[in-house]
Amino acid sequence: MNAAAVSERPIRVLLAKLGLDAHTIGVTVIARALRDAGMEVIYSGLKQTPEMVAATAIQEDVDVVGLSSLSAAHMQHFPRVVELLREQGADDKLVIAGGVIPAEDAQRLRDAGVAAIFTMGTSTDEIVAFLRQWAASR
Amino acid sequence: MSQPGDPRDPEALRKGLEEWERQTLAPALEREGERLPAFETQALHWPVERLYTPLDLEAAGFDYLKDVGFPGQFPYTRGTRPNGYRSQLWAMKQVTGFGTPEEWAKRAQYMLDQGLSGFFIEYDLPTTNGFDSDHPLAAGEVGRAGVAVDTLADMEAALDFDFSKLRHLTSVCNGPQPVNLAMIIAALEKKGVDPASFTLQMPNAILIEYTCVGRYIFPPEHGLRISTDVIEYTIRNHPNWVPISVISAQLYAARANPVQELAFGFSIAMQYLDAVLARGFTIDEVAPYFSFVTGVDMDFFEAVGKLRAYRKVWARLMKDRYGAKTREALELRITASPGTMSLTLQQPLNNITRLAIQMLACALGGGGYTMTTPLHDEAHALPSDEAIAVGAGVQKIVAHESGVADTIDPLAGSYYVEVMTKRIEDAVFAEIEKIDRMGGALAAIRTGYFQRELAREQCERNRALDTGKRKLVGVNDVERRSDEESLEIFRVDPESERRQIERLRAVKARRDEAKVAEALERVREAAEGDENLVPPILEAVKLYASQGEICDVLREAFGTYMPDSLTTGV
């Protein structure tokens, strides 16, 4: 595939809810906003394990994995997803996260390889712009 | 002779209004214009007129006796209590719950000592999803979003506080509600507490979980069956408890507008009513057991209109659709609380102001029997002790300092409030009819109608915030600040999870395994037949079968539920 064909392919995003957290508004709003921005969005549904998310990300050949948590189990699951992708040679995928994530946890997640953390109040335009910029610089 | 403004003479009023528009308003508009090109309500996006007069009531077909009436009389627009809050204030409750059962019991005692007469127990996600603390999916969640209850031993520890001050306890455990009910009954029995000494309220309206929240376990029709078992068992054995509480606040929290909240909530309630009626009760026997929990948003008049319409629609449904005759059946039992969804992470102290305004709307809308306050830092993390005290203070200040509780339904007769109330009522009936045509709530869940409607509202609200059409102080009216807020964040002790799992293992090690297996087998037989599930579950619970084990038996009998792309609304 040449460079032009790569850049024309829409950004493929997997949005995932990990663990038992079932707050879905953020993920719903972002799924629709990314779709409206021309991206391809796959939604995992609820009650996913990091293993399930990594497997889906690889199987669906996504560019971006967006992890959502509002129940405070983000430290449990998010770094594990990054680790699993790395172990399976899929660390070219961008992992981003959103939800209720205190500042100190956000730093620890960034250290663990989560590229960006979008907390409450982030506009969807901001997320779209971030992903486009990342895709363009790839 | 009538004067302009006299509602008895619409012609004089129309003339007065025209004169005002021409002589007084027009020059002012010429000079100053208006702040916005159009004004609309926050959730419903209904146009807000410049001025409401008796002419608007006339246009809406408003009839005082028919639409408003008197307190404690049909259609209960002015409240279900004949004397409003003059005899008794609302019961003050708060939502909280975290950590291990012992930590929860201490927190419960603290809340009672703060003067609260009741509270919600929220359980952690493994518990509400019917998993034990040692289940792989439970990792990192044990005791985080609520208290962890695996076995009767945990419930005994969680309820280890002074019941003499307790009036209401709401136990929020929708998915495995029969197991939760059985654990509470068994724990009270062991403690020697008279179950009739307080009111236990259970949401037990699992159908809401399929539209939002998502703490479902079984396919919806089995969810309906186990809820119906809980209702039937409770009515027959604990007649002063409230075995079903449709928490339409969850719909609101999922961004349902007031019309959707009431229409979806009532459609779900009617699905349960029909199921309970089919077990041989009459409407006048069962309707009094139904209660509702709502939340209000920041649009003060939508909030007040919603609460007043809530009572009217229920009364009319009970009377016209079900032929209810008794006062108890026609009166809506409702808890109204400020909504956590309007709290912001940014500038969190502003949430105290939001809570106060919403609490005022709850009091003025006539929240009914009880009201709850969330806590000002709920957007951040679980509530700290200070936040609990502030939340209690908001309720007390509205109750004792504002004067709103001293006369009954003081906003009645406001042209705007009455127009809003009537419009919401009419729109709710139209939406209920639409859902009826789809085949009712169960059908609307199966086809994803509720879920898609909510997803649309979620995106619209988000867009309104992104574009600044809706202002949110501290969020979109200022440059975004960094996340350096000085708020105290409550954190659960990570050791709790380990201790909880140890406790579960210890309980399992000292119980009679053969008896547990037999009891679980009886649960299975009941699940596969149509015997009420609560008695066999109660027996299993008393033998210290864990809730995960009991739910596993039910999972085998009923199957589990995973929505497809259509029914997630995404």
User: How confident is the model at residue B94, as a pLDDT?
Assistant: 63
Closest CA to A112 of A123, A100, A97, A126: A97
Residue-level pLDDT at B4: 46
Distance from CA of A90 to the nearest CA of B (A): 24
CB neighbours (10 Å) of residue B52?
16
Element (H, E) at B42: none
pLDDT band at A100 (very low <50, low <70, confident <90, very high): confident
Q: Do B129 and A106 touch (CB under 8 A)?
A: no
With an 8 Å Cβ cutoff, are B144 and A45 in contact?
Answer: no
Facing residue for B139 by CB, picked from A32, A46, A76: A76
Contact between residue B419 and residue B412 where contact means Cβ atoms under 8 Å apart: no
Chain B residues whose CB is inside 8 A of the A123 CB are: 465-466
Beta pairing class for B91-96 and B118-122: parallel
* pLDDT attached to residue A1: 43
CA distance A38 to chain B (A): 16
Percent helix, strand, coil in chain A (nearest 5)?
Answer: 45, 20, 35
Q: Which residues of A touch B489 (CB under 8 A)?
A: 102
Contact A71 B141 (CB under 8 A): yes
- B-chain CB neighbours of A76 within 8 Å are 139-141
- Please write the tens of the pLDDT for every residue from B391-407: 888 888 999 999 999 99
Q: Which residues of B touch A43 (CB under 8 A)?
A: 565, 568, 570
Q: So what's the pLDDT on residue B344?
A: 81
CB contact under 8 A, A75 and B568: no
**pLDDT value of position B20:** 97
Of A19, A24, A124, the CB nearest to B140: A19
Supply B176's token pair: 């495995």
User: Token digits for B546?
Assistant: 């864990």
First to last CA, chain B: 62
Calpha distance A91→B128 (Å, rounded) = 35
The DSSP secondary structure of B309-323, one letter per residue, reads HHHHHHHHIIIIIT-
Which ranges constitute the DSSP H helices of B254-299? 258-277, 283-286
User: So what's the ipTM on this one?
Assistant: 0.80
Q: Which residues contact B447 (CB under 8 A, 6 or more apart)?
A: B438, B566, B567
**Is A110 an interface residue toward B (CB < 8 Å)?**
no
- Domain spans in chain A, listed from the N-terminal domain onward: 14-137
Least confident of A38-47, A66-75, B125-134, B404-413: A66-75
Q: Look at B458 and A29 and tell me if their CB atoms are within 8 Å.
A: yes
A14-137: CATH topology is: Rossmann fold (3.40.50)
Residues in A touching B475 (Cβ below 8 Å): 121
> Which residues of chain B have a CB within 8 Å of the CB of A75?
140
Half-sphere exposure of B85 (CA within 13 A, CB side): 25
Task: Tell if the CB–CB gap between B458 and A102 is shorter than 8 Å.
Answer: no
Asked if A130 has any chain B CB less than 8 Å from its own CB, the reply is: no
On chain A, the residues whose CB falls within 8 A of the CB of B344 are 120-121
d(CA B254, CA B277): 30
Chain A residues with beta carbon closer than 8 angstroms to that of B348 = none
Q: What's the CA gap between B78 and B84, in Å, rounded? A: 8
The predicted-structure confidence for B178-208, as pLDDT tens digits, reads as follows 999 999 999 999 999 999 999 999 989 889 9
- Residue count (chain A): 138
A32 and B455 in contact by Cβ < 8 A?
A: yes
CB contact under 8 A, B345 and A103: no
> What is the reported pLDDT for B52?
97
Ordered structural domains, chain B, with CATH: 1-33 (no CATH), 65-467 (3.20.20.240)
Q: Do A45 and B136 touch (CB under 8 A)?
A: no
Chain centroid to Cα A59, Å, comes to 15
Q: How far is CA B364 from CA B222, B274, B399, B417, in A?
A: 39, 33, 11, 11
Report the interhelical angle of B534-542 vs B177-191 (nearest 10°). 50
Report the distance separating Cα B508 and Cα A38, nearest Å. Answer: 53
Q: How far apart (Å, rounded) are the C-alpha atoms in residues B270 and B264?
A: 10
Q: Which of B139, B563, B570 sits opposite A28 (nearest CB)?
A: B570
- Percent of chain B at pLDDT > 70 equals 91
Q: Could you give phi then psi for residue A37, rounded to 5 degrees? A: -85, 10
d(CA B337, CA B378): 14
Assess contact for B205 and B247: CB atoms under 8 A.
yes
Band (pLDDT 50/70/90 cuts) for residue A2 is: very low
The type of residue at B433 is E
Interchain contact A104–B (C-beta under 8 A): no
For residue B377, what pLDDT is reported? 61
pLDDT at A119 over 90: no
DSSP code, position B340:
G
- The per-residue pLDDT of chain A, averaged, comes to 89
- How many A×B Cβ pairs under 8 Å? 101
Q: How far apart are CA B277 and CA B282, in angstroms?
A: 6
Q: Which of B127, B465, B565, B570 should we substitute to test contact with A (largest number of A Cβ atoms within 10 Å)?
A: B570
Query: Helix or strand or coil: residue A18?
Result: strand
Radius of gyration of chain B (CA): 25
Question: For chain B, which ranges sit under pLDDT 50?
Answer: 1-5, 481-488
- Is the Cβ pair A20, B345 closer than 8 Å? no
Residue B501: name the closest of B133, B239, B109, B224 by CA: B133
Biggest CA-to-CA distance, chain B: 89
For chain B, the residue count is 570
How far apart are the C-alpha atoms of B42 and B25, rounded to whole Å? 25
Cross-strand bridge partners of residue B242: B201
The pTM of the full predicted model, rounded to 2 decimals, is 0.88
Q: What is the pLDDT of residue B381?
A: 56
Option in B137, B254, B569 nearest A20 (CB): B137
To test the contact with chain B by mutation, choose from A17, A25, A126 the residue with the greatest count of B C-beta atoms within 10 A, namely A25
Walk across the sheet containing A40-43 and list its strands. A40-43, A12-17, A64-69, A94-99, A116-119
**Whole-angstrom distance, CA of residue B229 vs CA of residue B279:** 10
Do the Cβ atoms of B141 and B170 come closer than 8 Å?
no
Cα of B253 to nearest chain A Cα, Å: 9
Q: What distances in angstroms separate CA B228 from CA B176, B177, B326, B358, B522, one per listed residue?
A: 13, 11, 22, 33, 19
Q: Which residues of B touch A45 (CB under 8 A)?
A: 562-563, 568
